[in-house]
Amino acid sequence: MCVVGARPNFMKIAPILRAFAAHQPPVPAFLVHTGQHYDASMSDKLFEDLALPRPDLNLEVGSGSHAVQTAEVMKRFEPALDEHKPSCVLVVGDVNSTLACSLVAVKKGVPVVHVEAGLRSGDRRMPEEINRVLTDQISDRLYTTERSALANLQREGVAAERVCFAGNVMIDSLHASRPRARNAADTLRAHGHDAGVLNGAAGYGVVTLHRPSNVDHAEVLRALLETLRTVAQRLPLVFALHPRTRANIERFGLAELVDPARMILLPPQGYLEMLGLMGGAALVLTDSGGLQEETTALGVPCLTLRENTERPITVEQGTNTMVGRDRAAILAGVDDILAGRGKHGRVPEYWDGHAAERIAADLWRWLSQPRAEH
C-alpha cells in the first residue's frame, strides 16, 4: 500500500509505481491519496504530468492544523488497512501524511517502508523534521537518497541492516519527464504574460517560497519580498506561488512590493512547467527541499533561503548555496552567479534515474524473507 498526500510526494511515488509494475514478477501496489493537497494545481495537474494512475482510494482529509490533519489521516487510513491487509505500507518524504499513515501501520503490525529516510536539518522547529525523525523510528525498511543519511539514522539508534542506499527517486522522475518539460516562454504566455521578459542579458530567475518560517510572519515576508524586488532589478523573477504564500501576501498587505514589470507571479505550476522554468533559469531562489535536489540534477545554481538543509549533498557536491534570509547574503549570492562564479556542481551518486528500480528489487527480496526477520 503506497501513500501520497502532498505535492512533493507525487514525483517520488510515480517512478516507484512504474518500477513495481516493471519488476519481474510485478509488485502489486494499491495507491492511497490522503487528500492533504486537494487543489487541482497542487494535486490533479501533477498526477496528469507524472502519468500517475488514479489513486485506488482518496481519503479527502483536506487542510487543518497539524494535529487535526494528522489525526484525520489516521482515522481515515485505519479502515483502509483493515480492509486491504497489505504486506507493507510504503510512505515517501516528510509530510504530515507520511507520519500519520506510518503510525497507523506500525501499531497494527504492518511493516512500514520509508523512502527518503534519514534526511535531517537538525531544526526541530520545522514540522517536516519531526515527521522525518518519527517516521524513521517506526520504519522497518528505510531507503536513503544520500550516504550522510545512514549516519543520521545510526545516531538515532536505527540498525544499519534496516537501511538501504537506493538513490533519489525524485531524480528518476526528472529523467523520465525532462523530454516533456514545457518551454518557459509558453508557460508565461499561457498565464497572459509577455515572454520577452525572459530574454534579457542576465536571463531570468525562478522563485518559490512556502516554508511557514519564511511566509507566515508579516515582517519576515516583507523583508524577503523587498530583497527579491532588489534582485529583480538585476534579472526578472518568475514566482510559482504556493497558496499559503499568495494568501499571506494579501493578508499582510504586501502586494505593493511586487514590481509587476520584473516580478511575474504565477499560480502553483505543474511538474512539466516547473522543469521547463528551472531548466532555462540563470538561478533559482527557493526554500523547497525538492528544488534543491532538482537544481543540482539540472546543474542550475540554487540559492536556498533557509538557515539549514536536510540535503547537505546538494551543497557539498551540487549547485546549492545556503543564504538564509539575510539580504546581503542573498544579493551577494546573486552577484556571484551572474558574474559566472556560481556552482556548477556534479550529480551525486545514485541520482541516476534508477533509484526506484533498486527499491523494487530490494523490497521484493525483503518482503520474501520469512516474517520473523522483519
- Catalytic positions, please? 210
Q: Which residues contact 281 (CB under 8 A, 6 or more apart)?
A: 184, 203, 204, 205, 206, 238, 300
Residues facing residue 206 across a β-bridge: 238, 284
Contact call for residue 38 and ligand UD1 (CB under 6 A): yes
Alpha-carbon distances of 351 from 101, 145, 194, 296, rounded to whole Å: 27, 8, 35, 10
Nearer to ligand UD1, 129 or 146 (CB): 129
51-80 residues in contact with ligand UD1 (CB under 6 A) are 63
Nearer to ligand UD1, 69 or 177 (CB): 69
Among 34, 96, 139, 248, binds ligand UD1 (CB under 6 A): 96
| Smallest gap from residue 38 Cβ to ligand UD1 (A) | 5
CB–CB of 292/211 below 8 Å?
no
Nearer to ligand UD1, 96 or 295 (CB): 96
Distance of CA 183 to the CA centre of its chain: 21
Q: Provide the 10 A C-beta neighbour count for residue 154.
A: 13
Phi, psi of 102 (to 5 degrees): -60, -40
| Smallest gap from residue 126 Cβ to ligand UD1 (A) | 8
187-226 residues in contact with ligand UD1 (CB under 6 A) are 210
Nearer to ligand UD1, 19 or 119 (CB): 119
Nearer to ligand UD1, 248 or 343 (CB): 248
| Smallest gap from residue 269 Cβ to ligand UD1 (A) | 12
CA count, 13 A, side-chain hemisphere, 122:
8
Candidates 88-96, 223-231, 252-260, 291-299: pick the segment binding ligand UD1 (CB under 6 A).
88-96
Closest CA to 89 of 107, 77, 101: 101
Binding mask 5-34 for ligand UD1 (x = CB under 6 A): -xxx--------------------------
Among 116, 128, 136, 146, binds ligand UD1 (CB under 6 A): 128
Contact call for residue 366 and ligand UD1 (CB under 6 A): no
Among 21, 26, 28, 39, binds ligand UD1 (CB under 6 A): 39
Cα Rg of the chain, angstroms: 20
Contact call for residue 141 and ligand UD1 (CB under 6 A): no
Candidates 90-98, 164-172, 194-202, 224-232: pick the segment binding ligand UD1 (CB under 6 A).
90-98
Closest CA to 142 of 290, 359, 367: 359
Give CA–CA dist 275/298, Å, rounded. 9
CB–CB of 330/305 below 8 Å?
yes
Nearer to ligand UD1, 290 or 342 (CB): 290
Q: Which residues contact 1 (CB under 8 A, 6 or more apart)?
A: 29, 30, 32, 80, 81, 84, 86, 88, 89, 90
Among 133, 175, 223, 243, binds ligand UD1 (CB under 6 A): 243
Q: Which residues bind ligand UD1 (CB under 6 A)?
A: 6-8, 36-39, 42-43, 63, 94-96, 127-128, 210, 242-244
